[in-house]
Homo-oligomer: A and B are copies of this chain.
Amino acid sequence: MSSKQIVIHAPATVANMVCGFDVLGFAVNEPYDIMKIRFSDSPGVTIINEDIYNLPIDPAKNVAGAALLAMLEEIPEVAGLELTINKQIKPGSGVGSSAASAAGAVVAANCLLEDRFRKEDLVRFAMNGEKLASGVKHADNIAPCIYGGVTLIRSIFPLDIIELNAPPLFVTIVHPQIEVRTADARSILKQQIQLKDAIKQWGNIAGLVAGLQKSDYDLIGRSLEDVLIEPIRSILIPGFDEVKQKSKEVGALGGGISGSGPSIFMLSKDEQTARKVETEMKAIFSGIGLEHHTYITTINQQGIKIIEA
């Protein structure tokens, strides 16, 4: 048995990207989880937590474990894997914490296995973690975590992932310390929508993709509009409307709910604006007495990084 150990960084991700519900997402450079994997004599998946979150170590109840178990089914010659997780992305914050665990685990394992699987396979395995976390196999965090940059899930069955270009963008994220469960945020959505609203939404996603491909910042900003999901989900996030308004007033291109919340992200063309946005976010949540944490980061073009192989 090889004693090789792989260490990776799995980045946080922002799903939906305002007008791309369930299909768009992007990776950021901060925060990220640190994970180590090695072959083990113990059969199945052994999980060791090195962080403060006390997540389940039963692999069937752990998102990273669920992803690795799906992978192990296709590599019967591997007896066991030992995964050590040092989670930096707070679970439930809405920036792809579960995706980082699930995607990080299978990317690390694939490195251990000398790249036996294609990226599409890794997405497929990792989606088992998302199923465990939210009840639905979705890839809008998994795909950008693995591929980096901005990704489009054109179709989930069959899986069709498209890597989009993106100009340099600064991302300000605020995580107000309230709990929004993904399953709850999903259940409040209307399953029937107006055709006229859907037309607005696909006009915007088309505009956003064109803006990203053309590096047209104004078009990106104009297209960051969501007439369907945000009006419903933002009710769960105190301060949301004010954060959005003030961020735009100080120059942000636009933004919205990260994934199903409660984190809010804003895109800016330069770092100075991203800092002004952070100042506004802090003032708003301090004003309403809500604990919060902020990040200023950039789009992560690489996805999961192999730190030690």
Contacts and interface: CB of A to CB of B under 8 A. Distances in A.
Interface of A: 19-24, 152-155, 160, 162, 164, 189-196, 198-210, 213-214, 219, 222-223, 228
A205 B203 CA distance: 9
Contact of A198 (B152, B154, B198): B198
Given A160-B222, A206-B23, A210-B162, A196 B201 contact: no
A205 B207 contact: no
A207 to B, nearest CB: 4
A21 B209 contact: no
Nearest to A198: B198
A202 B200 contact: no
B23 A199 contact: yes
Nearest to A152: B206
A295 B170 CA distance: 48
20 contacts: A19-B202, A22-B199, A23-B202, A23-B203, A24-B206, A152-B203, A152-B206, A152-B207, A154-B219, A162-B206, A162-B210, A189-B195, A191-B195, A191-B196, A192-B192, A193-B195, A198-B228, A202-B205, A210-B213, A213-B213
Nearest to A158: B222
Contact of A219 (B162, B199, B205): B162
Contact of A210 (B152, B189, B196, B203): B152
A268 to B, nearest CB: 21
Nearest to A192: B192
A252 to B, nearest CB: 19
B198 A190 contact: no
A222 B154 contact: yes
A191 to B, nearest CB: 5
Contacts of A191: 194-196
A124 B195 CA distance: 23
